[in-house]
Structure 1
């Protein structure tokens, strides 16, 4: 799928629906290449539902049954092994990607925020305690119509604009859509200890 270049003059930290799909496909391909030991992202088509605008993205990225990197099966043998499903969904309102997730035990029992806090890195847990329900919220998954947790998208376009305008590629005239989603996940993934390999950033084409 061909890359789309985001021009500096219009760079406001957001993506169009078409740009998101291109970025999502490139992101999943790079993840598979450089994160082969982890579960893979896959593109899932949306169900056709009345009331969805014609230009709405008909799909989202999904990575499921993830055990967070901080869990040590030897050291933490007394702890329950928890699993996480992550979805990257385009928000037509904010025009940015949004990370939805759910956490559950091996028997399928859903985790509450206090239990999730024990799984995530200490700095994320501190932020969660200080700003509960503004940092992580629970709302209806826009594609599944079921309650999922989500990292609130408010402010995403602002920090993405700062992040992308500091990239060396901007000096050359623009930023590719592929770079957008990799850069975005390099920030939000840290909430769960999921890090982007440097090779993923190095292998993205620039303008």
Structure 2
């Protein structure tokens, strides 16, 4: 579990870091959104962002989306700041943790994010066949294309396959391809040669 803490957490940074590390997380700290983006872009990545509610969470969410980076955000703030908590959730945070941090609450949030290996629950026989097929191919190095209508759980199934693959310990990277213009899709996903088009400097 790679945890990126953004901001000072109202002076509770050291406590939150220690709790997370005691639970097995690798912790990186960024003072502001720009530094956080640099950390994520720089290859270190993050499975979860713990963000000071005093920062502009909406702006951070929008900037992450603009770069097709999908990582859950949990806001942290002083316990009696209910208005800030609601604003953070509306801005795109998945959860709100009051400060000072509660060890059990932080542990539960880390466990929820890290637990991609949980079993899927289904009732339909056809879905049972899909799960069985996913289990069969998860151990191979074959490329897999999952298709289906919007909202049918394609990414859930992709995470299920990833969690049972040889790459399970490596990051699962989710990209919203619909947000990438068609003429940029190939170079965004597979790269390009220097000079292939204006602005292709590497």
Q: TM-score normalized by structure 1?
A: 0.27
Q: TM-score normalized by structure 2?
A: 0.28
The answer to which structure has the higher strand fraction is 1
Greater RCO (Cα-Cα under 8 Å, separation 6 or more): 1
